[in-house]
Structure 1
Amino acid sequence: MAVVKPFRAIRPVKDKAPFVASRSYEEYSNDELRSVLQYNPFSFLHIINPGFKFNQSVKGAERFKLVHNRYLEFLENGVFLKDEAPSFYLYQIGKETFKSLGLFCATSVADYEQDVIKKHEDTILKREQLFADYLETVGFNAEPVLMTYPDNKGIASILQNEMQKPAEYDFTTPDKISHRLWKISDEHTIADLQGAFKAIECLYIADGHHRSASSTLYAQRKRAGQKKHAESAPYDFFMSYLIPESEIKIYEFNRMVKDLNGLSKKEYLIRLDEFFRIEKRDDDLYRPTKKHHFSMYLDGEFYSLYLRKKVYRFTDALSKLDTQILYKTILEPILGVHDLRNDKRIAYGYGKYNLIKMKDSIDQGDFKVGFSLVPITTEEIKNIADAGLVMPPKSTYIEPKLRSGLTIYEL
């Protein structure tokens, strides 16, 4: 049974919302980031890049303190307001290819600890600790964890009814993505939604494994420091955005490796032949078409690689995953890439035109060989999470990518 809770959001006043909402700052080029900070005084980027005010870079504990100060300034200057009643926040984000309709809410640390909220990625302890330190200092959570749940007619009906009401926010950002948000503060509707979610056995993290792990670590620290602990304290929850499974979009990450690990092209292809039936596709932009089928680009030519299923053994959900198959049959044993997260010889790419970018990078000599895969499915993610297994890094690129600053959860 999944616990979802309304909360009193800190959020932009209506006329400032289009200017406050920002993408993750890692998505901005240096020039774009500088331009937004210079010409948009309301951008949430000012809060998470507080050194801009002083024309200097700040890091660590000093940055965390300044983030808190910029946040207070946005409140003091009337850019942000705090809702009077605990609410759910219905949010639709859309672009030409698809739309997602979901719910901003507070989800339970206890559910995370008890595996009601399920994970499919490993987290790095150092990053968990750093973000827990960040939460301790800044006192708020502005980036929701993206979670998914099985499509549910009861929940969908409630949300569709709320969509008929006037939206609190309705705007389109320069990247042609539309944003609409409704505040749900009616007590009966809140109770109906909470009751409907009681029928949801599990929530699955789609994006935000480090954020949820760090929020849990922060809550554990707070509990440890108190003689008496109230189970409904704000830190016992973290902000999430919940959408049905049918409304997430999963893309693949391609892999590129800088060399053939000391092998000649002939030696390398002979090694591949153990696990794959290899067919040359010349210079056409060739994409794989089904599971356990890979596209490879090497020396100006595309190849299709078909897994020899009588040679490769499927033992569990992880062994059936294409990213794991590629790792276990090529990347690790042949190309010598053991640490997928930190090895400098491997790089990853995603996106609509990434096959072309991969080909160009290899043609220019930046990499020697590249691999393209079909996207992982939602069902595969669930199977991995249900089995308590972990996907290889960069197995999925998941949309929607949410904006920061539209709703903020105070700790």
Structure 2
Amino acid sequence: MTLHERYADAMMKTLSPPLAVLVRGEGCYVWDENGTKYLDFLAGIAVNSLGHAHPDMVAAAQQQIGTLAHISNYFASPSQIELAERLKRLTGAGDAGRVYFCNSGAEANEAAFKLARLNTAGGRRNRILALNDSFHGRTMGALALTGKPLMRAPFEPVPGGVQHIETSIAVLEREIDDTVAALFLEPVKGEAGVIDLPEGYLRRARELCTKHGVLLIIDEVQTGAGRTGKWFAYEHSNVLPDAVTLAKGIGGGVPIGALVTFGATSDLFLRGQHGSTFGGNPFVTATSNAVLGVIERDDLVGNAARRGEQLRELITRIDSPLISEVRGRGLLLGIGLSEPVALKLAAAALAEGLIVNAANESSIRIAPPLIVGDAELADFDERFRAALASVTSSGLVSANR
């Protein structure tokens, strides 16, 4: 049996068949079982901040796995404490901040959901607001927050109390009042096709949440750790949240999530109200410290800002009837298409040795490693142009465009 056949025979049918079986990676490139080389401009869906097999990450993982891998949450480790302190500093939570560690973005949002439920004001706050077309994870609480009805429908009833609203300042102003416990939002809707919030939205959300005692909880699972050209996307709006959820890029490939609380929000959780056996264990926190340390040392946040502008300019210079707009910030970009051919374009790109993602029928998502440089951008340009030409010449694009 081939590896693909073995996968189909062994794995649960929750995902589409794999596009390839990958066996190794280096920098911004990966190779499949047949030796085919691909330029990875998805980075494991914004996870592999340092690309593949970065020597500092490898060394940290090897050292820690050979020393102490797991100890449960009855004990602490130096790497856990160091990472919590680092995240308090990087997020701006400061001395009053607190950190809860888990294993994924969905788990971080589950913790944040419970945190929101604690902001009751004596029972007067019974509403949680989230945005239409948002994505916060696939576990039941995170799914309840997710603004995609088709994803929730097979699993109803999901936990209640969540109201999904349109993403406009006018709706925000109408809905936020003293009955709301929390507002959940992504600063960029990644799974929706990399959709930016309206200008001024986050600043107005902060003002309204402060006025009414509402927790502003920002999901930075996909946008955090420098991906948008700032450590966290809320920095572009010069605001601080009451809590932020993190995962993906902070681990660079190891499974880790975190909830960071700010100010008085840090006092809401009491002992025994939440926990995780694996959360914050020595192996993942030591590796995460190495990842974040490299991002700081090598100014990869600045590199994301600079390379993101280069990548945006490169895409907008392509003369193709398929490209209608470029969205997003830094190294999280969405290419809006004039025709619903994103799946075919992503497949054509893969055939050219380029990994990108069709977030939906009319959007291509791009999220390369933060280490990307001139050579990789030039390689992307060549491969993506070839993919566009392939789809355009196939007759899939309307003749009048």
> Is TM (by shorter chain) over 0.5?
no
Q: TM-score, normalised to structure 2's length?
A: 0.28
Q: TM-score, normalised to structure 1's length?
A: 0.27
Who wins on radius of gyration, i.e. which is larger? 1
- Higher strand proportion (structure 1 or 2): 1
